[in-house]
């Protein structure tokens, strides 16, 4: 095991990693930007070191700053959290070259899974169904039209690089396709410097379901079931739960087992998540892999009792997993609510400022992972996540009932938050019946959804 | 739950002196002015500086009698960085004694060294009156800070008392074998070194004190 770990992230995940280090008895150093000097992980840290200014490119995204900080503090490993440098295979390689350990998959594994297109091919070859799509990148408009005819409309135009909805369009006709190709090319070029596009079959009413795996260096792996992340706003998850209400137990087990088998065969190492779309018939299609700890990992921790961050650190240190599939028992139902500093009254634009009052909820099955506190000045430079409320119950109705109480108790004053949208979801029949799909919120419109909930 | 405004008031305003005399005055008024300046410099400025650093505001302005003082955050997007309220001895914080990353540049007639308001200086009070010199106090102090996290190496030939120009190299911070220069923020005289050569330093850490020339005379 490492003697000391540098935590190269901020916010709630820096605190989560700090806690895991303490449980393991491992020393830790929190690396922070000037804007995060007053944040909770920095205040609670055994050691903290300022690595740069507020601008993430010169702090959390700066490989030299992070590695230099690790070296001068005598750290042996770097935990990148999520976002920032967490899936950068170049960074992982430079970390290794400096005699340090990257806490995540080794650089060569990250590289193997770096391209979404190549990963779909790789895992498709190991038995995972993928969404029908174009054969490789689109050469020109004529090629795009031919491929769309073969796949069948509607189709989704997607850029090879990047994410976040840029360069993406769903089209229902050949005419729409021809117009949208130009727009997508220029958007993709502007956003990612790469205008190559491909087509995917558009699945009308789909669910986003992902499988958590953990595989050690010796190829011994387990799956920890799935999470349903269908509640999204503009491709951003806002609520996650497990198990998924979309699939019966046998289908969930089948999905998880096939995901684990494929990714193990492909040589994956450490914790990771395979994302799938599940259509209205219960058919699933692999879309991408996340080679890191995810925001929504606590949902799985609540069901399994496994500390995923601790597991991630132990695997990176070369330890065997220490448990097998038979040891894992998934109990009950858990829901995670992402509490964001966003203003629902203004298109959910990010908010910043001082938190005047902060009351954390409690009670059976309630967990709050948050770096916020009363008096904390939320900086405007980073993502708007203030924390995650995770609520467990022996079954979904109990988890929902406990969630209502917890959300009602939770108090954040001084800046707007998105708590109201969670309260609206818990009052919504489609959600309560477990029939929510990924594009529902955007189709209704978040503002209209909130307005309808307050009238109801 | 209303949102807080983080806007910076008047950043686009026409330049105006932050501390300015009102009009003609008699001796009594002059005395009152000096008292006001003393209070502004001694009490208000440090308090305001701390308040600005701890807040999300871009600028703070207060009035005292006929005088007003305005502090403005550096305009390059540097974050608020107030000092820790309680440093723990167990923490690796080599550079947090004294006031480190002073985020606010003081605007004034003679705010020494504040070239464009973006230099991370620990700047003393400006002196608005040139007339009889009774408002003059100790020289402004400046500090060269670390541009990066790494190992500090001072220029060996520099000694306390050496004369340097603004932009002169005082040493470097080694970041994975790449040298990042530490430069003097002012024309002046090298004072005390706050860290030893070969020490690990963090971003923004105070390294070398400087006494700006031309001030305090």
**Structure token digits, residue A98:** 């400096």
Please determine, for residue B122, whether its predicted confidence score (pLDDT) is greater than 80.
Answer: no
Give the model's pLDDT for residue B37.
Answer: 59
Q: A64-78, B14-28, B174-188: which has the minimum mean pLDDT? A: B14-28
pLDDT tens across A390-438, in order? 999 999 999 999 999 999 999 999 999 999 999 999 999 999 999 999 9
Predicted TM-score (pTM) of the model is 0.77
Determine the average pLDDT of the residues in A379-386: 96
Under CATH, which number does the domain A207-455 receive? 3.30.470.20
Give chain B's mean pLDDT. Answer: 61
Q: How far does A102 lie from chain B, in Å, by closest CA?
A: 17
Using a CB-CB distance cutoff of 8 angstroms, which residues of chain A are in contact with residue B204? Answer: 34, 50, 53
Please determine, for residue B123, whether its predicted confidence score (pLDDT) is greater than 90.
Answer: no
Exposure of A395 by Cβ count < 10 A (0-12 exposed, 13-18 middle, 19+ buried)? exposed
Give the model's pLDDT for residue A299.
Answer: 98
Please determine, for residue B135, whether its predicted confidence score (pLDDT) is greater than 60.
Answer: no
If pLDDT is split at 50, 70 and 90, which confidence band does B192 have?
very high
Using a CB-CB distance cutoff of 8 angstroms, which residues of chain B are in contact with residue A37? Answer: 81-82, 84
Give the model's pLDDT for residue B84.
Answer: 34
For chains A and B, what is the number of CB pairs under 8 angstroms?
109
Give the model's pLDDT for residue B82.
Answer: 33
Give the model's pLDDT for residue B12.
Answer: 34
- Is the CB of residue A190 less than 8 Å away from at least one CB of chain B? no
- Rounded CA gap, A12 and A52, in Å? 19
Using a CB-CB distance cutoff of 8 angstroms, which residues of chain A are in contact with residue B175? Answer: 64-65, 68
Residue spans per domain, chain A: 4-103, 132-201, 207-455
Please determine, looking at this structure, whether the domain spanning A4-103 carries the CATH number 3.40.50.20. yes
- Is the CB of residue B9 less than 8 Å away from at least one CB of chain A? no
pLDDT tens across A359-380, in order? 999 999 999 999 999 999 999 9
Using a CB-CB distance cutoff of 8 angstroms, which residues of chain B are in contact with residue A53? Answer: 77-79, 203-204
**Structure token digits, residue A26:** 């491992």
* CATH class entry, domain A132-201: alpha beta
Contact B175 A65 (CB under 8 A): yes
Please determine, for residue B24, whether its predicted confidence score (pLDDT) is greater than 80.
Answer: no
Give the model's pLDDT for residue A215.
Answer: 98
Residue spans per domain, chain B: 26-75+98-132, 138-217
**β-strand pairing of A207-215 with A270-278:** antiparallel
A49, A55, A356: which to substitute to probe chain B, counting the most B Cβ within 10 Å?
A: A49
Of A7, A141, A138, A21, nearest to A69 by C-alpha is A7
Give the model's pLDDT for residue A454.
Answer: 82
If pLDDT is split at 50, 70 and 90, which confidence band does A73 have?
very high
If pLDDT is split at 50, 70 and 90, which confidence band does B150 have?
very high
**Other Cβ atoms closer than 10 A to A422:** 23
- Is the CB of residue A310 less than 8 Å away from at least one CB of chain B? no
**Between B56 and B17, where is the model more confident?**
B56
- In sequence order, the 6+-apart residues with CB closer than 8 A to the CB of A236 are none
Exposure of B2 by Cβ count < 10 A (0-12 exposed, 13-18 middle, 19+ buried)? exposed
pLDDT tens across B89-114, in order? 333 333 333 333 333 333 333 233 33
Q: A299-303, A342-346, A441-445, B29-33: which has the minimum mean pLDDT? A: B29-33
Give the model's pLDDT for residue A208.
Answer: 96
- Rounded CA gap, B18 and B35, in Å? 17
Give the model's pLDDT for residue B140.
Answer: 63
B53, B54, B76, B79: which to substitute to probe chain A, counting the most A Cβ within 10 Å?
A: B79
pLDDT tens across A202-251, in order? 887 799 999 999 999 999 999 999 999 999 998 899 999 999 999 999 99
Q: A300-304, A342-346, B17-21, B50-54: which has the minimum mean pLDDT? A: B17-21
- Is the CB of residue B146 less than 8 Å away from at least one CB of chain A? no
- Is the CB of residue A376 less than 8 Å away from at least one CB of chain B? no
- Selected residues 34-73 of chain B with any CB under 8 Å from a CB in chain A: 54-56
Which of B78, B80, B200 lies nearest to residue A72, judging by beta carbons? Answer: B200
Note the maximum CA span of chain B. 63
Q: How far does A417 lie from chain B, in Å, by closest CA?
A: 9
Q: Dihedral of CA A349/A355/A356/A357: which sign?
A: positive
Give chain A's mean pLDDT. Answer: 95
Question: How many Å separate Cα A12 from the centre of its chain?
Answer: 13
- Is the CB of residue B89 less than 8 Å away from at least one CB of chain A? no
Using a CB-CB distance cutoff of 8 angstroms, which residues of chain A are in contact with residue B178? Answer: 64
DSSP state of B98: S
A72, A355, A376, A381: which to substitute to probe chain B, counting the most B Cβ within 10 Å?
A: A72
B58, B195, B202, B207: which to substitute to probe chain A, counting the most A Cβ within 10 Å?
A: B202
Note whether A6 and A66 are within 8 A (CB): yes
Give the model's pLDDT for residue B28.
Answer: 57
Exposure of A226 by Cβ count < 10 A (0-12 exposed, 13-18 middle, 19+ buried)? buried
Residue ranges with strand state E in chain B: 59-64, 67-72, 105-106, 142-145, 150-154, 163-164, 169-175, 178-183, 188-193, 200-201, 206-212
Of A185, A129, A130, nearest to A157 by C-alpha is A185
Share of chain A above pLDDT 90, in %: 87
- Selected residues 139-158 of chain A with any CB under 8 Å from a CB in chain B: none
Catalytic residues of A: 292
* CB burial readout A89-108, b (16+ within 10 A) else e: bebbbbbeeeebbbbbbbbe
**Between B133 and A182, where is the model more confident?**
A182
Share of chain A above pLDDT 70, in %: 99
Please determine, looking at this structure, whether the domain spanning B138-217 carries the CATH number 2.40.50.100. yes
Please determine, for residue A297, whether its predicted confidence score (pLDDT) is greater than 80.
Answer: yes
* CB burial readout B26-42, b (16+ within 10 A) else e: eeeeeeebeebbeebbe
Using a CB-CB distance cutoff of 8 angstroms, which residues of chain A are in contact with residue B150? Answer: 68, 72
Which ipTM was obtained for this model?
0.86
Q: How far does A428 lie from chain B, in Å, by closest CA?
A: 23
- Is the CB of residue B217 less than 8 Å away from at least one CB of chain A? no
Note whether B182 and B208 are within 8 A (CB): yes
Contact A67 B176 (CB under 8 A): yes
- Rounded CA gap, B62 and B40, in Å? 9
Contact B81 A351 (CB under 8 A): no
- Rounded CA gap, A287 and A294, in Å? 16
Contact B178 A352 (CB under 8 A): no
- The residue whose two tokens read 């951003």 is A236
Give the model's pLDDT for residue B36.
Answer: 60
- Rounded CA gap, A172 and A416, in Å? 38
pLDDT tens across A129-165, in order? 999 888 888 999 999 999 999 999 999 999 887 666 7
**β-strand pairing of A101-102 with A77-79:** parallel
Please determine, for residue B49, whether its predicted confidence score (pLDDT) is greater than 70.
Answer: no
**Between B124 and A193, where is the model more confident?**
A193
If pLDDT is split at 50, 70 and 90, which confidence band does A271 have?
very high
Exposure of A57 by Cβ count < 10 A (0-12 exposed, 13-18 middle, 19+ buried)? exposed
Using a CB-CB distance cutoff of 8 angstroms, which residues of chain B are in contact with residue A55? Answer: 77
Q: What residue in B sits closest to A65 (Cα-Cα)?
A: B149
């Amino acid at each position: 095991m490492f003697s000391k770990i540098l935590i190269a992230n901020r916010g709630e995940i820096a605190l989560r990693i700090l806690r895991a280090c303490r449980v393991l008895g491992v020393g830790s150093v929190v690396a922070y930007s000037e804007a995060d000097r007053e944040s909770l992980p920095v205040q609670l840290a055994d050691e903290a070191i300022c690595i740069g200014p507020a601008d993430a490119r010169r702090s959390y995204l700066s490989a030299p700053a992070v590695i230099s900080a690790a070296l001068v503090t005598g750290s042996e490993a770097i935990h990148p959290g999520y976002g920032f440098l967490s899936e950068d295979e170049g960074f992982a390689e430079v970390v290794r070259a400096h005699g340090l350990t990257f806490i995540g998959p080794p650089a060569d594994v990250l590289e193997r899974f770096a391209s979404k297109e190549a990963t779909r091919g790789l895992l498709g070859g190991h038995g995972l169904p993928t969404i029908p799509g174009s054969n490789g990148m689109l050469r020109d408009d004529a090629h795009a039209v031919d491929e769309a005819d073969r796949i069948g409309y509607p189709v989704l135009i997607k850029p090879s690089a990047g994410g976040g909805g840029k360069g993406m369009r769903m089209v229902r006709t050949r005419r729409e396709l021809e117009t949208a190709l130009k727009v997508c090319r220029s958007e993709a070029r502007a956003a990612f410097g790469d205008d190559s596009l491909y087509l995917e079959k558009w699945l009308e009413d789909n669910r986003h379901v992902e499988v958590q795996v953990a595989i050690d260096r010796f190829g011994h792996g387990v799956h920890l079931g799935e999470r349903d992340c269908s509640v999204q706003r503009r491709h951003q998850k806002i609520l996650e739960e497990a198990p998924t209400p979309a699939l019966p137990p046998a289908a969930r087990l089948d999905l998880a087992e096939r995901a684990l088998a494929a990714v193990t065969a492909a040589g994956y190492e450490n914790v990771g998540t395979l994302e799938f779309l599940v259509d209205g018939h219960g058919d699933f299609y692999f879309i991408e892999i996340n080679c890191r700890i995810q925001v929504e990992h606590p949902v799985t921790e609540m069901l399994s009792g496994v500390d995923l961050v601790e597991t991630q650190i132990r695997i990176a240190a070369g330890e065997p997993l220490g448990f097998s599939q038979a040891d894992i028992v998934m109990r009950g139902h858990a829901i995670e609510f992402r509490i964001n500093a966003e203003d629902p009254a203004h298109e959910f634009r990010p908010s910043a400022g001082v938190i005047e009052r902060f009351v954390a909820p409690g009670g059976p099955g309630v967990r709050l992972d948050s770096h916020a506190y009363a008096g904390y000045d939320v900086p405007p430079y980073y993502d708007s996540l203030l924390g995650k409320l995770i609520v467990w119950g022996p079954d979904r109705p109990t988890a929902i009932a406990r969630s209502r109480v917890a959300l009602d108790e939770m108090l954040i004053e001084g800046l707007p938050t998105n708590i109201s949208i969670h309260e609206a979801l818990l009052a919504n029949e489609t959600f309560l019946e477990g029939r929510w799909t990924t594009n529902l919120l955007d189709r209704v419109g978040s503002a209209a959804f909130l307005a309808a909930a307050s009238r109801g | 739950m209303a949102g807080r405004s983080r806007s910076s008031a008047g950043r686009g305003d026409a330049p105006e002196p932050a501390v300015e005399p009102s009009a003609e005055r008699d001796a009594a008024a002059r005395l009152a002015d000096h008292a006001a300046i003393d209070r502004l410099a001694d009490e208000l400025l440090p308090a305001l500086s701390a308040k600005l650093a701890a807040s999300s505001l871009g600028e703070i302005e207060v009035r005292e009698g006929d005088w007003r003082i305005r502090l403005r955050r550096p305009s390059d997007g540097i974050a608020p960085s107030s000092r820790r309220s309680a440093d723990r001895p167990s923490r690796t914080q080599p550079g947090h004694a004294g006031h480190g990353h002073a985020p606010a540049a003081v605007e004034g007639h003679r705010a020494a060294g504040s070239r464009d308001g973006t230099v991370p200086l620990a700047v003393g009070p400006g002196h608005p009156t040139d007339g009889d010199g009774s408002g003059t106090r100790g020289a402004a102090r400046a500090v060269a800070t670390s541009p990066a996290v790494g190992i500090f190496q001072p220029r060996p030939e520099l000694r306390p008392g050496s004369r340097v120009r603004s932009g002169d190299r005082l040493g470097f911070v080694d970041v994975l074998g790449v040298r990042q220069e530490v430069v003097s923020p002012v024309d002046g005289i090298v004072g005390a070194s706050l860290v030893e050569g070969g020490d690990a330093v963090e971003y923004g850490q105070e390294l070398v004190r400087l006494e700006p020339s031309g001030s305090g005379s």
